[in-house]
Amino acid sequence: IHRDLAARNVLLESDRRVKIGDFGLAKALPHGCDYYRVRDDGDSPVFWFAMECLKECKFSFASDVWSY
């Protein structure tokens, strides 16, 4: 889970290829798990978070897409 997927973190490599950068907030999901729960909010970009991230501190692939 990237947790900070935004246009500012997407780099254009060529005509049809992009790369995602800034993995400072990224977390690897354990096998069989489809979300990550944050214990300490810390310094997070809350303005771009999906509602479930703010309410339940749960991050998923869907919340990454929503924030982008």
10: three-class secondary structure by DSSP: strand
Element (H, E) at 13: strand 10-14
Q: How high is the pLDDT of residue 66?
A: 81
Q: How high is the pLDDT of residue 11?
A: 86
Rounded mean pLDDT of 28-56?
A: 79
> Any idea which residues carry the catalytic annotation?
4
Task: Give the C-alpha distances (Å, rounded to integers) separating 62 from 3, 12, 31, 54.
Answer: 10, 23, 17, 14
The 10s digit of each residue's pLDDT in 27-41 is 888 899 888 887 766
